[in-house]
Chains A and B, each alone.
Chain A
Amino acid sequence: MRYMNEVLASRELLANLTLREIRGQYKRTIFGQLWSLVNPLATMLVYTIVFAFILRVTPPPGNPSGLNIFAVWLLCGLLPWAFFANVVQQGMGSIISNAGLVQKVYFSRIVLPLSKVGSVGYNWLFEMGVLVVVLALCGSFVWPWIPIVIIVMVLLAIFAAGLSLMLSVANVHFRDTQYFVSILMQIWMYLTPIIYPISLVEDQSKAHGGLFGTSITILDIYRLNPLERFVAVFRQLLYDNTWPNPQDLLLCAIWAFAALTIGLWVFRKSEKGLAEAL
């Protein structure tokens, strides 16, 4: 509890560090904040060409929204994933890149990874805003779902924060972490139904049946991936315009708070040794 108070007391510092990231990021660029849109758009273009035109992946149309546009369907999963991946990767390096600060000034170290959640989240908010406008233009009645979308966004941010707290500490002790994680994130992305619909996995799973004589299917294992649930919930809300599956939503919340609890515990335990270990 006392730790919580200390973290709360440094919320102003957190806000200032987040602002530093946001203001510093696109300084001296002509397009400024627009650059934050270019990355997801370029990725969207590549994936749409490869997966929709060449490989002919056809996700089911939105039910009940009736939307049937691959690029939009892709973005509903890709933007949350990109946020998650960026928070984890930047948060992980946040203590090392501020080594000078950590070794010279006392402050609540937790603000360093958390400020990355803030600055990446700011960009994400901007991207999601644009996505909502695009969805509305395409005929999706997305407006009533926005409050729930925001709740799920917060849950994903909590989940990402928990992971980056753990990894930022691990990275101070073992610099291998950052290289390992960047490979892991690539694999993780393809293990999540972002560029292909989960129905393809369902088909494969049915074809193989229970694994090793048990009733556990490939799909059961596949769905252990927390990001699978998050992406599903985002698609249900944004693309399908329907209530998310309550079980999925609950699991998202459980994953988020479990990650945060472990992350806080790990971080708190090793916080005092950080200046020395750097």
Chain B
Amino acid sequence: MKILILGGTGMLGPWVVKALKNKHQLLLTDINEPPKKYQGDFLKLSVDDINGVINAAEGMDCIINLSVLRHDRKLAFDVSTKGNYSMMNAAKIHNIKRVINTGPHFQMVGQSYEEWDFNLNPEMPPQPGTRLYAISKFLGQEIAKRYADYFGINLITLLYYNMRHHYDLTTPNEEKAVLHNDMVPFTTSWIDCGEAVRCAVEIDKSKLQSNSETFFISPMTPHNKFNSSKTFDILGWRPKYSLENLWTKKIKKSNNHIENSY
């Protein structure tokens, strides 16, 4: 498949490239250049540049959106909301029938759901609340879903919770993790997060019940706070690292977040 990746040199991008590069033809785009170890095609592009995204999408079979900026109000809406508008218009214009969107779990199950005890699931009505990151991603998702339903595009949305490097349990731009202290039951390794995108790219259309399907990407937990059964049953994702694997592992030092990726 020819795949356009938006926001491909951020936190998740290197792991998505690792999962896809041997089977698919990738065009990686981002406002930041990839490191030298990345050998594939790259285009410098901001996701809110609608004409740039439309041009880059020509001839593609699939678009993956990994872009995110969450600290500045303008940038957050430019990337997470308007970026999705660019992406979905590109899909419409070039008749691209598969779009993979990614985001945080709380763009759907935000603050007002926090007190719920269990069985939060991806079929619930979204309630992101007013946190900047959550609401800007949610509005982007609303645009993407409308386009998917109206123009018959398969939109697969993957929602993540807590991502850590499988060597040393770190996540970029945060302090070093302390084994057993900084983990939540939904901790997922970056390498497994990339695999989830591969599952979404390769899933047979007949398994999808509607044009817009959302999946929680986190390992199965006994208390079932986030119900990921749909992810296991339909997406076919099986994480290599469960909480138990990560909890009992021996920490292996990594030089940076992208070690063992690309």
Instruction: Judge: A and B partners, yes or no.
Output: no
Seen from chain A, the residues whose Cβ lies within 8 Å of a Cβ on chain B are none
